[in-house]
Amino acid sequence: MEFNSKERFDDRAINGSYDVWLKNHPSALSSFDEIKRVAYEKQIVVFLDYDGTLSPIVNDPDQAYMSDAMRSAVRKVGKHFPTSIISGRSRDKVFQFVRLNNIYYAGSHGMDISTPSVSLYYGNHKHQAGTIDEKGNDMVNFCPAQDFLPRIQTIKVMLQEITRGIKGAMVEDNKFCLSVHFRCVNDEDNVGVLKEKVESAMKSYKDFRISEGKEVMEIRPNINWDKGLALRYLLGSLGFENSSEILPIYIGDDKTDEDAFKMIKNIGRGFPTVVSSTSKETEALYSLRDPIEVMSFLICLAKWEKDCTLRGG
């Protein structure tokens, strides 16, 4: 598919009704016949965010479980298409939530990737190392922020001290990045105090950056890496880096997913799909309202491929 450039993503809701917004970002479910037509005899590669996409957003990030029905849908998609989850969570944590062995995982916003082979694009990168998984399989771990780990732990202790005095705030260690959650901070003034303290404390760490998601502050190394580059890395590790036959599908709900949407548009074909029940600026071309619609879309995708296989084409 050919893409035209769109305006830069802004996490604020835009003016206008959701119905009007849908005209520019049509439902991937309603557009499924078009997706099937474009994808016919192409290689679909699926990429998924986790929180807000495969699981609902919840107050306690440790309780963000996906349903058994969603797990079944992802398993079926992974059976028919190369499938990866790219999450801001640590890779180990998102695996504990998903518990599927037929898909690939990238944690820390793509700064911690594990695949069976090196990426064609990053074959000589110093942070790409071979390892053996628990089943004895050869794997490659790619961690471009490896050198930052000691300072991340230092920053975590500092942030824990800051949040200790603000009821409802908490720090989540996602290995190569840190999340300061304030969804459960009831007093808006305390949210402002928290942000001010975190921003002030981080001024001493010039090689880190702060971004804001859905009631969370993300602190991560200021390196040239994001979910879009993680998507390209995964395509390379799966042997699709230079293939004209691939059609990437990326489904995500957060600001950090916009980099992946832009990468698909740069590739020039595929289906960048935002999960949102409100109108907002986005680089995505398609939309799904919530994790329930995501599950329905994944079920349709797996069923279509299964039917094609049974028909022999």
Calpha distance 186→196 (Å, rounded): 17
| Residues making up the chain, counted from first to last | 313
26 in helix, strand or coil? coil
Calpha distance 131→112 (Å, rounded): 14
Q: What is the DSSP string of 223-247?
A: SS--HHHHHHHHHHHTT-TT-SSEE
Q: What is the DSSP string of 164-222?
A: HTSTT-EEEE-SSSEEEE-TT---HHHHHHHHHHHHHHGGG-TTEEEEE-SSEEEEEE-
- Closest-CA residue to 141 (of 170, 117, 169): 117
Calpha distance 249→142 (Å, rounded): 22
Is residue 305 within 8 Å of residue 293, measured between CB atoms?
no
- Torsion from C-alpha of 26, 106, 242, 285, nearest 10 degrees: 10
Calpha distance 49→232 (Å, rounded): 15
Residues carrying an active site annotation: 49
- Find residue 47's DSSP bridge partners: 84, 250
Q: What region does 99 belong to: left with phi over 0, alpha with psi -120 to 50, or beta?
A: left
